[in-house]
Amino acid sequence: MLKGIYTPLSGAIAQERALEVVSNNLANINTNGFKGERVTFTLLEPEPNKHYKTPLPPANYKVPFEKLTNARANEMSYVGVDSVERDLQQGPVIKTDNPTDLMIEGKGYLSVMTPEGVRYTRDGSLTLNAEGVLTNKFGSPVVGEKGNIFLRGSSFQVNGRGEVYQGDQMVDRLMLYDFKDNKALEKVGGNMYFYGGPEEGRNVVENPQVRQGQLEGSNVNAIKNITALIMTHRSYEAYQKAVSNFDSMMEKSSNSIGEIRA
């Protein structure tokens, strides 16, 4: 068997993963606060199999075989997905004039208290529940300095610093968090992130920039993603060509070399 056939196979599998990421980006091209992602690839070098013997040099050969070439027969390189990198660029501004729509300009995440614990989000399309608590679209309360933010109806103002006013009275201030390592944020769906990193990696944003009546759109770039889609498609095709070439080589060795002719 030609083991080389597994190398393009690993490439094709990696491209399939890339396609999954591109399709998730494009599926969320109109999702508020969504951050697009990109796959990075890496070289996977499996450790040589110790049980696989290095072929012995011919009997009268003086130079050790290992010195001639450092490539052992079982040493094969593969490609794999290294990581899925998140593009943290600000999404486009969507003006809605809806008082419960908030946009965070620059850094920071809103914190919401879900039944599973605190989650972070950039999606500011909020709403009020029947008790007048400011919540996200799943009914999880948005965390302010004093806990839940209680409002009497949807006529309220949020100023640039994230302070929530009703009339002249300041109700509460939105708590925006920023993370030293944004990669430690795990996407959990529902436009929310989970932070499982160390406490010192999480800071309260000192000078938040909040805009009321606006939303942050998805930062997915259609052109970039369609280009990525084409590249993924064509590399997948190339890998498959390589697989079928290996296949015809193996066919040759099994059928043509050993052919018995009368």
Partner 1 sequence: MMRALLTAATGMEAQQLTVDTIANNLANVNTTGFKRSRANFHDLLYQTVKAPGQSTTVGTVVPSGIQIGAGSEVSSVEKMFKEGSVIQTGKETDLMIQGEGFFRVQRDDGRVAYTRDGSFKWDSGGRLVTADGFPVVPEIAIPPGVAHNKFNIGLDGSVTVRVGEEVQEIGQIQLANFINPAGLDSLGRNLYGATVASGDPAVGAANQDGVGSIAQRQLESSNVNVIEEMVNMITGQRAYELNSKVIQTGDQMLQQTNNIR
Check: CB of residue 111 under 8 Å from CB of residue 105.
Answer: no
- CA torsion, ordered 34, 135, 151, 108, to nearest 10 deg: -40
- Window 66-105: contact mask with partner 1 (x via CB under 8 A): ---------------x-xxxx---------xxx-x-----
Residue 114 interacts with partner 1 (CB under 8 A): yes or no:
no
CB of 24 to partner 1, least distance (A): 3
| R_g of the chain, CA atoms, integer Å | 28
Listed ranges 54-62, 66-74, 109-117, 151-159: which one lies at the site for partner 1 (CB under 8 A)? 151-159
DSSP bridge partners of 142: 112
Measure Cα distances from 148 to 111, 122, 132, 213 in Å. Answer: 11, 18, 10, 21
Check: CB of residue 120 under 8 Å from CB of residue 176.
Answer: no
Residue 19 interacts with partner 1 (CB under 8 A): yes or no:
yes
Listed ranges 60-68, 102-110, 141-149, 227-235: which one lies at the site for partner 1 (CB under 8 A)? 227-235
Cβ-based nearer residue to partner 1, 54 or 244: 244
Residue 152 interacts with partner 1 (CB under 8 A): yes or no:
yes
Rule CB under 8 A: choose which of 117, 196, 255, 260 binds partner 1: 196
Cβ-based nearer residue to partner 1, 49 or 154: 154
Q: Which residues bind partner 1 (CB under 8 A)?
A: 12, 16-17, 19-24, 26-32, 34, 37, 81, 83-86, 96-98, 100, 123, 125, 127-132, 137-138, 151-155, 183-191, 196-197, 222, 225-226, 229-230, 232-233, 236-237, 240, 243-244, 247
